[in-house]
Structure 1
Amino acid sequence: MQDPVERLLPPAVRAALARRELLVRRPVAGGRHGVHRSLRPGVGRDFRDYRAYVPGDDPRRLDWRAAARSDRLVVRQTESQEELTITWLVDGSGGMGYGEGEARKWARAGTVVAALSSLALRQADGVGVVIGREGSVDAELIDASTRRDRLRALAGRFVGAEPAGACPWEAMLEAAAPRLRPRSLVLAVSDFLDPGAGQVASGEGERAADEALLRGLGLMRAAGSDVVLIQILHRDELSFPWEQPRVLRLEDPRGRRPLVEGPGASMRDAYLERLGAHLRWLEGSCERGGLLLVRLVSDGDPAGQLIDLLGRLAGAPSEVSLGEEGRA
């Protein structure tokens, strides 16, 4: 039986990430030394500022040249390099099961989660994950860990389970929020096409249910965490390739929406118009809420997408869709 980590991280992906680091765009607060900028001065490589010497300071940190210019003893302060805590919120609903082979959305989600987690663990950063599927929350790995076996346990969640049912986003947020450490990195992975399906079925308005999810993620950001939405879509969802006049039968993989039937040719324009409106709403809502949105297409080059994603996390400007393959 193939190792779950090797299954999610093929040789080309591992080679592309061999010398990469996972960096975040904002300083973090942590208790151990790592590779990320800290909110407080400490031991590090990058100069931050000077401050006046006080008895008890390490004499090795005195800057004698600056002292000669100012006639007072000063100490060099550097950016403390601290560890980061990463929490994954993963949509394991039936919608993530669309596609085949490596182009399956669930497979691409697993590759993204495993790849970034492997970098984090290599840097001694803690990783935790929460998965929502079939209306329930799998929070067994919610507490961030730096243990070597965390990556294999995490990968096993993708290889050993099938996406099904609806993702209970509200319950996932409620489970994760109290466990977040200050200035954590929260990464939500989903197609974000129908995140409020469960609430809609219980009578809540469609847009209101979607807004509730973004509001919950926004509260995590307000509490000090960096929040990133990684939207994974299949190319069929972006292009609706069924243009023939034959009748299509569309079933909701989450089991919450009624069956839709009709000629593909007549359904395509309406579908693409509605999809475009939803994607624009999502982009605008994330921008207004200070949430980073990254869109991946499940059949794109995984190594290239991951390198671009690392750049976005580190603060590099880019389009929402990573790479040419991300554009509809």
Structure 2
Amino acid sequence: MAEDASGSGGASDDPEGEALGRLVPAALRERLRGRPLLVQRPVWGRRHGRHPAARAGVGHDFRDHRAYVPGDDPRRLDWRAVARRDRLVLRRTESEDELSITLLLDAGAGMDYGEGPSHKLRYARAVAGGLSWLALRQGDPVGLAMGRQQTVDASLARPRSGRERLSALAHRMIEAQPRGRCPWGPLMSAVAPRLPRRSLLVLLSDLLDPGTTEGDADEVLDELLRGLAQLRARQHEVVIVQTLHPDELDFPWNERGMLRFEDLRGLRAPLEGPGRNLRESYLQRLGEHLGRLDERCEAEGLLLLRMPTGIPVEDAFMQLLARLAGQPVEAEAGAEVGA
């Protein structure tokens, strides 16, 4: 069962602080303080601002100010405004589009595996919460849609900003306990019309068995990837965060005796057999599945980040930020996020 809290000591008198404390572990919050969310992908280019957009003719028209955060170009500081406000602020122009983020969260029963920080859904929520906090802190709107129990929750799918947004997102994610399966087709259909122009879409799931019946997992996955590729063709950026428990990657049950495995979603018949035989078959099929997913994402221009939940989420998140910013990733030993 997923836990409500993702760390201790995060509650505060303000709703945003309380929501952040429940969703994002303290170690990750500490690593994110003062950090910007930088996205340097082809859609935004490399010429202007934090999230540049190709809009001719309005590149120097003043739009507004926003607070300076470490990582910003100090040449964009508005020193007259700094003198008036006694704090560092940046001048934003019409050529600097806000970054609109939409999160797609798999809250199906397949994500209900692991204990403590390695719980798959809890881990995915921490990543989603960290992205939301960074984006909202710099004025970028965030949307959220979830799939569970064969139903779609798209009530917060349209990206919004504002002081109450983080609290609303956090409460919705925490209240959704993992049940049933994530209906990817309806979820994509609900989200696609709500995406603002040139959005960043972040999908968080294990993507191990997205099917609904025996034998259709590949078909459902293909349909999902085709839908994501269509969004990519419409100038959206797509990032897939695949959260996998170490048990799912290593299959540590290597006993000679008989073992029985049950589908957390209740869609598959129980699997029984000698542990050693099951392990060999499982690891072979897993390797084929992950290899196929890697190839499809590379071919479609989708950024895939595989996050084993045995890695501290703060380390994995730093690598995610580096990949989004187009920076080289320097992983610590034992803390490498796969692509």
Measured against the shorter chain, the TM-score band is 0.7 to 0.9
Bigger-Rg structure (1/2)? 1
Q: Which has the higher strand share?
A: 1
Q: Which runs of 4+ in 1 moved over 6 A?
A: none
| SS at 2:59 equivalent | strand
Q: Does 2:319 match 1:324?
A: no
Deviations 1:155-187 (Å, cap 9, x if unpaired)? 112322211111000001000001111110000
Which residue number in structure 1 is paired with residue 157 of structure 2?
142
Which residue number in structure 1 is paired with residue 277 of structure 2?
266
| SS at 1:89 equivalent | strand
**Which of 124, 137, 141 is residue 139 of structure 2 equivalent to?**
124
Structure 1 vs Structure 2 CA RMSD: 2.5
Q: What is the CA–CA distance in structure 2 between the aligned matches of 1:110 and 1:286, rounded to whole Å?
A: 22
Say whether the 8 Å CA contact 2:179–2:265 is kept in structure 1. yes
Which residue number in structure 2 is paired with residue 292 of structure 1?
303
**Which of 272, 288, 291 is residue 280 of structure 1 equivalent to?**
291
Which residue number in structure 1 is paired with residue 115 of structure 2?
100
Aligned residues: 289
List aligned pairs for 1:10-49, cutoff 5 A. 10-26=25-41, 35-40=50-55, 42-43=59-60
The percentage of aligned residue pairs carrying the same residue is: 46
Task: Name the amino acid aligned to 1:278.
Answer: H
Q: What is the CA–CA distance in structure 2 between the aligned matches of 1:142 and 1:322, rounded to whole Å?
A: 35
Q: What is the CA–CA distance in structure 2 between the aligned matches of 1:317 and 1:225, rounded to whole Å?
A: 23
Task: Name the amino acid aligned to 1:175.
Answer: A
**Which of 241, 244, 254 is residue 265 of structure 2 equivalent to?**
254
| Residues 97, 143 of structure 1: alpha-carbon distance in 2 compared, 3 angstrom cutoff | same
Q: What is the CA–CA distance in structure 2 between the aligned matches of 1:25 and 1:214, rounded to whole Å?
A: 22
| Residues 304, 94 of structure 1: alpha-carbon distance in 2 compared, 3 angstrom cutoff | same
| Residues 246, 157 of structure 1: alpha-carbon distance in 2 compared, 3 angstrom cutoff | farther
Say whether the 8 Å CA contact 1:134–1:167 is kept in structure 2. yes
Q: What is the CA–CA distance in structure 2 between the aligned matches of 1:13 and 1:36, rounded to whole Å?
A: 24
**Which of 100, 105, 116 is residue 85 of structure 1 equivalent to?**
100
Q: What is the CA–CA distance in structure 1 between the aligned matches of 2:337 and 2:40, rounded to whole Å?
A: 25
Q: Does 2:22 match 1:7?
A: yes
Say whether the 8 Å CA contact 1:294–1:322 is kept in structure 2. no
Q: Does 2:326 match 1:311?
A: no
Say whether the 8 Å CA contact 2:43–2:237 is kept in structure 1. no
Q: What is the CA–CA distance in structure 2 between the aligned matches of 1:286 and 1:231, rounded to whole Å?
A: 12
Which residue number in structure 1 is paired with residue 235 of structure 2?
224
Which residue number in structure 2 is paired with residue 213 of structure 1?
224
TM-score (ref. length: structure 1): 0.82
Q: Does 2:197 match 1:187?
A: no
Q: What is the CA–CA distance in structure 2 between the aligned matches of 1:279 and 1:286, rounded to whole Å?
A: 11
Unaligned runs of 5+ in 2: 6-10, 12-17, 63-71, 74-92
Task: Name the amino acid aligned to 1:42.
Answer: G
Deviations 1:92-138 (Å, cap 9, x if unpaired)? 11011111111100110110000011000011101000000000001
| Residues 315, 301 of structure 1: alpha-carbon distance in 2 compared, 3 angstrom cutoff | same
| SS at 1:111 equivalent | helix
